[in-house]
């Protein structure tokens, strides 16, 4: 029904990986505007894509998914579709890395989550994290992309640039509440 991601060269650079990922994301959201469906598949593309990279063999990604702004409380994030172990269901704006991204509307690349003020240890296996805000053209924060790594310094500026491009496609591809 949909193309299976075909590019699985484990030695791609992060930049090459994100170029491929962006094409895959565009293919998967094409013709589908239900936000739950699109976020569920994009979480799988990100998680399994990063797992396929040699660069992450020694830096395993243990969680990739979404928190969305609670439709009934615009100062709270609630858990959306993800890949990985069970996760915290609610995060207040301003709390932890996700909450910081929600308030600042700026991507957070955190090399060591244990040094981050008010870090929320949903999974004790996580040591570094990247969180990318999803912001509507109106300026409203609709949610965040959240990815955890079991090692320190799992993510860098290449992830930031690549995921911000994915975020833009996600924002445009879905009908939001």
User: Using the rule CB under 8 A, is 79 a contact of a copy of itself?
Assistant: yes
Per CB under 8 A, which of residues 111..170 are in contact with a copy of itself?
A: 120, 122
Conformational region of residue 11, where left means phi above 0, alpha means psi within -120 to 50, and beta covers everything else: alpha
Contact 48, 84 (CB under 8 A): no
Conformational region of residue 143, where left means phi above 0, alpha means psi within -120 to 50, and beta covers everything else: left
Matching residue, tokens 């609709």: 142
User: Using the rule CB under 8 A, is 28 a contact of a copy of itself?
Assistant: yes
Residue with Cβ nearer a copy of itself (48 or 111): 48
Matching residue, tokens 């999803």: 134
Residue with Cβ nearer a copy of itself (78 or 165): 78
User: Using the rule CB under 8 A, is 22 a contact of a copy of itself?
Assistant: no
Question: Which of 26, 85, 114, 140 touches a copy of itself (CB under 8 A)?
Answer: 85
Residue with Cβ nearer a copy of itself (18 or 109): 18
Distance (Å) of CA 155 to CA 5, 65, 86, 120: 22, 15, 22, 18
User: Using the rule CB under 8 A, is 99 a contact of a copy of itself?
Assistant: no
Helix, strand, coil share of the chain (percent; to 5): 35, 25, 35
Taking the complex as a whole, the smallest distance from the CB of residue 156 to a copy of itself amounts, in Å, to 25
Residue with Cβ nearer a copy of itself (29 or 163): 29
Burial of 115 (0-12, 13-18, 19+ CB in 10 A): exposed
Question: Which of 62, 69, 83, 107 touches a copy of itself (CB under 8 A)?
Answer: 83
Taking the complex as a whole, the smallest distance from the CB of residue 45 to a copy of itself amounts, in Å, to 6
Contact 166, 46 (CB under 8 A): yes
Question: Which of 8, 23, 26, 86 touches a copy of itself (CB under 8 A)?
Answer: 86
Instruction: Catalog residues that contact a copy of itself under the rule CB under 8 A.
Output: 1-2, 4-5, 28, 32, 34, 36-37, 40-41, 44-45, 48, 65, 68, 70, 78-90, 120, 122
């Amino acid at each position: 029904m949909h193309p299976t991601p075909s590019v699985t060269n484990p030695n791609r650079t992060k930049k090459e990986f994100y170029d491929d990922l962006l094409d895959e994301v565009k293919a998967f959201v094409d013709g589908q505007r239900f936000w739950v469906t699109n976020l569920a598949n994009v979480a799988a593309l990100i998680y399994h894509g990063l797992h396929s990279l040699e660069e992450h063999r020694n830096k395993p990604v243990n969680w990739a998914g979404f928190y969305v702004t609670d439709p009934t409380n615009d100062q709270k994030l609630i858990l959306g579709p993800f890949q990985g172990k069970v996760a915290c269901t609610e995060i207040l704006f301003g709390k932890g890395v996700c909450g910081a991204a929600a308030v600042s509307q700026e991507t957070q690349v955190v090399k060591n989550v244990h040094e981050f003020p008010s870090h929320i240890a949903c999974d004790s296996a996580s040591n570094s994290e990247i969180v990318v805000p999803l912001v509507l053209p109106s300026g409203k924060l609709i949610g965040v992309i959240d990815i955890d790594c079991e090692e320190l310094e799992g993510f860098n500026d290449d992830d930031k640039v690549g995921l911000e491009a994915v975020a833009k496609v996600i924002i445009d591809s879905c009908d939001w509440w």
